[in-house]
A = this chain, B = another copy of it.
Amino acid sequence: MAYVKMKVDETRAFCEEVYVRHGFTREEAQRIVDVILMADLYGFESHGVQRMIRYHNSIIRGHVDPKAEMDIIFETPVSAVIDGNKTMGQITASKAMKMAIEKAKQHGFGMVTVRNCNHFGVAGYYSRMAADSEMIGFCSTNTEAIAIPTFGKKAMLGTSPIAVSMPADPYYFWFDCATTVVPRGKIEVYNKRGDALHEGWAADEYGRSCLDAEHVLDNINAKNFGGIFPIGGESKDTGSHKGYGYGLIAELFTGIISGGHTSPHVENGGMGDTSFGFAAIDYGIFGDKKEIRDRMSTLLRELRESPAADGQEKVYTPGEPEMISKADKEKNGILVNDKTVDEMRMIGEYVGLVLEDYIKVTEIDQ
């Protein structure tokens, strides 16, 4: 797969116009694109502009309705439950996290859950919103079932990420990981390259570790048994039950308390039936905020300064590689694979835009 580079500002302008022409307000379009580009900037290619084709299809097929409005269906001073009503995930998710932050500003804590919504992009975008408001942020989402429980062989849980953020200097603590050992995208990349999977990544239809990426994907697509293992892999010896537990914690804070669908009941692609959970904690409820932030900064610095294993360059802290990636890409442009460029061009044509009017695509050597 060949890659090109696109300037961030140019990409932002094009994508924003795409969503405006799809019927979103300018402000909504800006939010959608901000979430998408954060993924590309942070180095999460799978959740960046390459996902625009899926959003495009959801919109033109009516799974996402640009004119729909979310409903608040239950609320207390520290909580709310929202029905997503087929809205675009990024828009309702941002509003939900803003509500959680406002509640936390007033009461120290706020938690807002969303049901019946669409894919919201990178979970860490929303936990970061809380950190930008000087709070601890939490975010999770469930997904269609693709992960098998420890000792099982049927996909019952999502790749459901858990994201936690907290301000620190010079880099926030920013953690955002799927509760599976690898995301589906990694299996797809290995399949394209024809490489064998690692032991403990994915299961065949008997629930046994399987190194054949194509076979695993065929099973997943056909909804046969098999799927991806939780963090910790196949065996309790490698901690499979721990990742399985974190997958259930994600489910608890999304589908369960929102009253939405749980992962086994989320349809193919999670279109309109995905649940989210957002929480903000104002850490000022534990004392002087600057002191608390400084303690986090100190711990993270101590980790970065701790000696690297032989053969490794350095110890990173969660969020540091993403900031390094962002600095590079803001200067040099984001990396976009050629298939995605074609898709973006097609999406542009669909809404009456010419990609090249907005973005000067730069070929690169790889």
Contacts and interface: CB of A to CB of B under 8 A. Distances in A.
A9 B69 CA distance: 59
Contacts of A291: 259
A203 interface: yes
Contacts of A257: 283, 286-287, 292
B239 A286 contact: no
Q: Which of A77, A245, A258 has the most CB of B within 10 A?
A: A245
A341 interface: no
Interface residues of A, number: 83
Given A149-B306, A252-B166, A295-B259, A285 B239 contact: no
Contacts of A164: 245, 249, 252
Interface string A78-110: 110100000000000000000000000001110
B152 A108 contact: no
Given A309-B206, A318-B248, A111 B113 contact: no
Contacts of A152: 303, 306-309, 312, 315
A302 interface: yes
B79 A312 contact: no
Contacts of A150: 315-316
A310 B154 contact: no
Given A173-B248, A233-B238, 12 more contacts: A107-B107, A111-B285, A149-B315, A151-B313, A151-B314, A153-B307, A153-B309, A181-B232, A198-B237, A248-B318, A256-B299, A258-B286
A134 interface: no
The 3 A-B residue pairs with the shortest CB-CB distance, nearest first, are: A207-B309, A79-B285, A175-B245
A296 interface: yes
Contacts of A314: 151
A126 to B, nearest CB: 16
A208 B310 contact: yes
